[in-house]
Amino acid sequence: MMKRLLLIGLALAASTCTAEMHAQGINISRLLSPITIGLEAGLRQLDPKSRSIPHHSPGHALATKHDLVHRTNLKAVRGGGAPAPPPARFLKWAYATCGLATTTAWSTAVFTTVRSNQPPGAMMPCWQHQFFARLGGLSAVPLLAASYTVLARSASEATESWEQMDSPTCRRHNLALAVTGVGGALWTCFAETVTRIPGTGTSHQVYTGGMKWGLVGCYGSGAVLAAAVWARSLPEEMRFDPRRWTGRIVDGVSRSLVGLGPIDREDPVNVKYALLTTSFLVFTGLQTVCNMPVAVMPSWLSRRISRKFALVTLLGATTCFDLKEAAESGKLLVESNYRILSNGVRGFGVVYFAARSGVVFDPSFPQHFGVVNQVPGLAVACALMVALTLRSDVK
């Protein structure tokens, strides 16, 4: 049933995106071509009638005003002139559709991996164990929803130039969601290796067939869109030189790392988001490079989804850094986009603590939490970190 729902969701997402692209007159094949060429041309052909210019024979009447205007626009697209504005309506719906697809893929992975008899014979001790473990995995949903919502809103307002999508918030979240999409697709492809249980020859998860490629397609759609918009919104002198993209990313990450500390240590909100950003980054590293049981924090999901949960903490770090800068500039309580991001962080904390609090109602606690019991100090540190997400943004 879950497999059918995933495939139907992916098909719906693809058809919605395709219909919207056709409504805007966008050539889909060009969108999927190399970023610097396909997106440049595909997203600018907004008029369905302008895809081909009628050929006028010697005896034909002079070209219509529409044809002349189109030729002028086409010349600007191909050889200079004022660049066309981004298709705001298309980008808004594309972000909404890809956000739905990515969230569906994440939720599907949680429900199909965190369950009894996965692998066959590995039964969970009670229904509470499975329920609260799944709830903890779904704490990623508020962060994903907030990020895609902010990008969709920003795209709908980008009606003058692509550079409007090059704001620090859009730039960081596009890159973070591109990493999330690529990471989710890779985890799906190599789930058998990532979730292998030592000494048993079995794994918690192995995706094949339609389920596997449906998940990869959902994650990939978000990654392609985020990466394409990030590249298209670069300054023109850098947009057509992919060799400079890596340097730009490294420079941006380096500046962010240097600026992790709060500017105003007397501002509790500024300090809160500075600590959250640093904590999320630390736990991202622990989940990525450390072995069990260290890598089990903060997800509490053993080998099932612990490695994949690093994508959640990375997105959380990106969001909290944006909120830290907003607190420093005085925009946190003023601009609605920052309120959405703040609610996403708080939503993560609420769902996470609901899952952890539910452990007290788990009859199998603590004997069936062997990996978690090996790192009690890290468990306390995670609780303190997540507790900061629940603090109000009001000083």
Per-residue buried b or exposed e for 272-292, using 16+ beta carbons within 10 Å of the residue's own CB:
bbbbbbbbbbebbebbeeeee
pLDDT at 31 over 80: no
What is the per-residue pLDDT across 331-375, written as a single tens digit (0 to 9) for each? Answer: 998 899 999 999 999 999 999 999 998 888 888 888 888 888 899
pLDDT at 75: 39
**Stronger pLDDT, 83 or 265, i.e. the higher one:** 265
User: pTM for this structure?
Assistant: 0.78
Based on its alpha-carbon atoms, the radius of gyration of the chain, rounded to whole angstroms, reads 24
pLDDT at 81 over 60: no
Distances from the Cα of 118 to the Cα of 115, 126, 298, angstroms = 6, 14, 22
pLDDT at 224: 95
Q: Residue 234, class by beta-carbon neighbours within 10 Å (0-12 exposed, 13-18 middle, 19+ buried)? A: buried
Cβ atoms of residues 322 and 170 within 8 Å: no
pLDDT at 83: 60
The number of residues in the chain equals 395
Cβ atoms of residues 205 and 113 within 8 Å: yes
Cα 247–251–253 angle (5° rounding)? Answer: 120
Cβ atoms of residues 322 and 341 within 8 Å: yes
pLDDT at 140 over 80: yes
pLDDT at 192: 92
pLDDT at 233: 87
In DSSP terms, 196 is beta-bridged to: 203
pLDDT at 234: 87
Q: Strand (E) positions, 112-179? A: none
pLDDT at 153: 92
Rounded mean pLDDT, 155-180: 88
pLDDT at 283: 94
pLDDT at 379 over 50: yes
pLDDT at 93: 93
pLDDT at 67 over 50: no
pLDDT at 54 over 50: no
**Pairwise CA distance, residues 290 & 309, whole Å:** 13
Neighbours of 108 (CB within 10 A): 21
